[in-house]
Each structure stands twice: as structure tokens, then as C-alpha cells.
Copies of this chain bind each other. A is one copy, B any other.
């Protein structure tokens, strides 16, 4: 666990310097980069509501004409990937640079082995991209999108590095060190609201109650959360509960916010 306050205090326990696969936590960075570039036109192609269905369901896509429920389910993140592919000349490289700037750590990189192995078995994601393309909501080639998406999810970071990146969101979209405006105030609120209502697969309501912070989890066992104006907080523990969220991580965050009496409520 790593806690980083806006006034640069660090508190760490356990292996907060060990890199792990951030997986779906990367979707927050993808969304921030897309919104920073395209403003709200992003939300013409991805909705902002909780899904209520398992995070990789095709049913919702078929009933709602290829518009994903939100940018944090796989289908939504694949549309965001399609947008980044259209907007940037070299999105794979520029995404890394974005992360480097957010964290101030230029050694963060993709894990090519992870990216390749997940792509090799990514048939359900391929099904979703094809289905959305049949509805006209995908503009680039299926293969290119999948390659980029699985790279995005393969990034490896430590708890401390993630805390550094998420602190920008705790600071309403502005870099604490460099004062760079990654997001406008309105864009920050939009992304924080999506973290709060959609950040934990089918367990958003449970997390809002037990932890009470906007955040995002990944199947690698990581969870990153923020208390706006105060701190960012990252935990990592690989054992998952049946909803796909880190079991010990959820508990740690719950205990932390309860004992410190800090939450959005």
C-alpha cells in the first residue's frame, strides 16, 4: 500500500516498490488522455452509466446498438483505444510518454510478453470490437485496436508510481509537481464520477459504501483510489474476490478510510 498526499508526504507499507501488471487501471489513463484530446465528443461513442452486467458482456452492446455503457468495461475501453488510434500519430509511444509525465518516472514500460499472450487469447475482446464495428462504432482495423489495447493493459508499475499518477486526479486534473493541466475542472469531475459509479466491475455500490472513494481496480490485484484535495492511495494484493477485485486490497482500503474517517461522504 502506498499513500501520497498533495503536500508530498509518502506513507508506504509492504512491497510498494514492486512492479505489477496494472491491467484495467490503465483504462483511467486511456480515458484521461482521450478526454484531454477530444473533450466530450468521446461521450458520443461511450456512455457514462454503470453497466449492471458482467464487465465483458456482449448482450448490452447488442441491445444498445454498439454503444458501450461506460469507458471502464472492456467494450468501452476498446472504443477509447480506437479514438486514441485515430487521434495520435503514434499512440503506443505517446501513451507511454503520457504515463511518464504523470508519474515523472520514464522507465515505465509495456510488458511485451503479457501483451502478446493476452492478445493470443483475446477472442471475446475481438468479438466485441467486431460487433461494435458492425454498428459503425469502430473506425480502425480490428487487429490494430486489439494490439494497442493489450499493450495498454500490460503496463507495469509499482504502488508508488501509481499513487504518483493518480495524485493528479486527486489534485483535480492538475500536476502537483509540474502544475501542468492534464484535465479541466469539468473533465476531472467527469472522470471522478465514472470512477465512483463504474470503477469496480459489478461491485461499484459495495466499494462506494465500504471505502467511499473514487477509484479503479485491475485483475492484476491492484486498486488505485483518490480522496479529492487530499491524497491518492494504491494497494496491491493478487488474490481476487468473485467479482474480480483484490480481496485484501478492498479490505485494506475499507479499514484505512474507516479508521482515518476520510471518505467523500
In the complex, chain B residues whose CB is within 8 Å of the CB of A130: 123-124, 126-127, 130
Q: How many angstroms between the C-alpha atoms of A255 and B58 in the bound complex?
A: 37
Q: Are A134 and B124 in contact (CB under 8 A)?
A: yes
A48 in the interface (beta carbon within 8 A): yes
- A197: contacting residue among B70, B189, B190, B205, CB under 8 A: B205
In the complex, chain B residues whose CB is within 8 Å of the CB of A203: 49
Shortest Cβ gap from A136 to chain B (Å): 9
Q: How many angstroms between the C-alpha atoms of A193 and B265 in the bound complex?
A: 8
Q: Are A204 and B49 in contact (CB under 8 A)?
A: yes
Interface SS of A by simple majority: helix
A 197-243 contacts with B by CB, 8 A: 197-198, 202-206, 208-209, 212, 214, 228
Closest to A136 in B: B123
- Copy tally for this chain in the complex stands at 4
Shortest Cβ gap from A134 to chain B (Å): 4
Closest to A203 in B: B49
Closest to A138 in B: B123
Shortest Cβ gap from A265 to chain B (Å): 5
Number of interface residues, chain A, beta carbon within 8 A: 49
A128 in the interface (beta carbon within 8 A): yes
A188 in the interface (beta carbon within 8 A): yes
Q: How many angstroms between the C-alpha atoms of A130 and B143 in the bound complex?
A: 13
Shortest Cβ gap from A259 to chain B (Å): 13
Most B Cβ at <10 Å: residue of A52, A59, A142: A52
Q: Are A134 and B128 in contact (CB under 8 A)?
A: no
- A131: contacting residue among B48, B123, B212, CB under 8 A: B123
Q: How many angstroms between the C-alpha atoms of A47 and B193 in the bound complex?
A: 21
Known: A189-B265, A193-B205, A196-B196. 7 other contacts (CB 8 A): A48-B209, A49-B202, A123-B134, A124-B131, A127-B127, A189-B263, A194-B209
Q: Interface on A for B, CB 8 Å cutoff? A: 47-53, 57-60, 62-63, 69-70, 123-124, 126-131, 133-134, 142, 172, 188-190, 192-194, 196-198, 202-206, 208-209, 212, 214, 228, 263-265
11 contacts between A and B (CB under 8 A): A50-B50, A50-B204, A58-B127, A59-B59, A123-B131, A124-B131, A126-B126, A127-B134, A188-B265, A194-B209, A197-B204
